[in-house]
Amino acid sequence: MALASAAAASETAAAVSLLPCNCKAQTRTILLQNSVPNSTTFSNSSIRSSITKFSKLRLLPVKRTHVLNQVRCSSDPYVGPDSPPLKIGIIGFGNFGQFISSAFKRQGHIVMATSRSDYSDYCQQHGIEFYRNIDALCEEQPDVILVCSSILSTETVVRSIPLHKLKPDTIFADVLSVKQFPRNLFLEVLPPGFGIVCTHPMFGPESGKHGWTGLPFVYDKFRIAEGTVQEQRCAQFLSIFEHEGCTMVEMSCEEHDRHAAGTQFITHTIGRILSHLNLESTPINTKGYETLLQLTENTVSDSFDLYYGLFMYNVNATEQIENLDRAFETVKQKLFGR
């Protein structure tokens, strides 16, 4: 009995040693997420009601037994070397759509794209099928529809998709910097059989140009039918990012937006404010000042529409603006009071 137990323990240890090495680092994500306190709520009903009205956030009831906040270290068992390649249709093939499609191609998947602008030359050079309208792309019945449009145009784009031309178990995914908005839009517009995966790669063409290893990839799954081909395709789609080395973080859309308002939106806001000061490099730059210059450059290089979308379509953004106002007033009072 003792020998059998020892052998079993040895086999278990050997199996554990085969886990991906980045799983150890991923556990730090859990600790960081659990250590972030809930934001303080400030009352400003008039502003909040206006933002909710104009952003058209349809807060539909979503049945969730608990808030997901965990890291996955391995792909679904459905995914294997014998899995056929996915047919991935990308709607909105600008810089980010092109950037993310490179990983799909590297891993042997079939990539199709459509966009308002003509990217047929780029697609021809990179082995991607380009369609001049959404109807033509949908007729090819991709396994996954990936919406890469801007936040402000997403609703118009999604409502223009000829859903009747798609397979009844098509999976819809997005890469928007806000998550409750696309989730609620998908739940409202898509037929019941369609799968939904809300994702946010926490990187872009600049920060991910040297690889995606260790970069967070946030996702939340909805209406994925268990034990079906749809579940297999969903796992296969997510495994693309895992195989690229991303830190896979499964997190609810609500929690994502709460964190993003305190990180991404505040970062963009500070950068936009600094840009109006017309800061310039000097012969005596400190490291801190160079960091501010870099922050300003990074944020203003993004379109104002992106920043506006972060504000209008994240219900937590107004609260952060209020927090920033309060903080600035507190600092001024300390200065002038002394």
pLDDT digits (tens, 9 = 90+) for 264-278: 999 999 999 999 999
CA–CA dist 277, 272 (Å, integer): 9
Produce one character per residue of 237-273: b if its CB has 16 or more CB atoms within 10 Å, e if not.
bbbbbbebebbbbebbbbbbbbbbbbebbbebbebee
Which 3 state secondary structure label does DSSP give 37? Answer: coil
Is residue 56 scored above 50 in pLDDT?
A: no
Q: Which amino acid is at 250?
A: E
48-62, 90-104, 116-130: the lowest-pLDDT one: 48-62
CA 114 to chain centre: 20
If you ran DSSP here, which 8-state letter would residue 333 be given?
H
**pLDDT, tens digit (0-9, with 9 covering 90-100), for 59-108:** 444 444 333 334 443 344 445 567 899 999 999 999 999 999 999 999 99
CA–CA dist 180, 257 (Å, integer): 7
Is residue 3 scored above 60 in pLDDT?
A: no
